[in-house]
Structure 1
Amino acid sequence: MTVTVHRAPVSGIPPLTLYRILWLRVTVFVVEQQAAYPEIDGRDIEPDAELMWAGDGDDVLATLRLLREPANTRIGRVATAAAARGRGIAADLMRSAVAYLDAEAPGLPILLDAQQHLAEWYGRFGFVVSGDAFAEDGIPHVPMRREAPGR
Structure 2
Amino acid sequence: MLHWQWKRFAELTLDELYRVLALREQVFVVEQKSIYQDADGYDRGAHHLLGKASGESEPVLAAYLRVLPPGLKYPEASFGRVVTAPSMRRHGYGKALVEKGLSFIETHFPGAPIRIGAQHYLQRFYEGYGFRRVSDVYDEDGIPHIDMLR
TM-score, length-normalised on structure 2?
A: 0.90
Aligned partner of 1:52 in structure 2 is 49
Three-state SS of the structure 1 residue aligned to 2:77 is: strand
Match of 2:109 among 105, 108, 127: 105
Total equivalences in the alignment: 143
Shift of 1:90: 1.6
How far residue 123 of structure 1 moved from its aligned partner, in angstroms, is: 1.8
- Report whether the alignment pairs 1:90 with 2:94: yes
Letter in 1 for 2:23: L
Matched, 1:72 2:73: no
Q: Pick closer, same or farther for the CA change 1:124–1:4 going to 2, 3 Å.
A: farther
- Given that 2:70 and 2:112 are in contact with CA atoms closer than 8 Å, whether structure 1 keeps it comes out as no
Question: How far apart in 1 are the matches of 2:9 and 2:80?
Answer: 15
Q: Percent identity?
A: 34
SS in 2 for 1:135: strand
Partner in structure 2 of residue 10 of structure 1 = 9
Residue by residue over 1:39-62, the C-alpha shift from the partner in whole angstroms, topping out at 9 and shown as x without a partner, is 11111013xx11112111311111
Q: What amino acid maps onto 1:67 in structure 2?
A: L
Residue 132 of structure 1 deviates from its aligned partner by 1.3
Which amino acid is the alignment partner of residue 59 of structure 1?
V
TM-score (norm 1): 0.89
Q: Which amino acid aligns with 1:69?
A: P
Q: Letter of the 2:34 partner, please give it.
A: A
Distance 2:81 2:102 in 1: 14
| Structure 2: gaps (5+ residues) | none
Aligned partners of 1:136, 1:122: CA distance in 2, in Å? Answer: 18
Tell me by how many angstroms 1:69 deviates.
Answer: 2.7
State the SS of the aligned residue for 1:52. Answer: strand
- Match of 2:118? 114
RMSD of equivalent CA atoms: 1.2
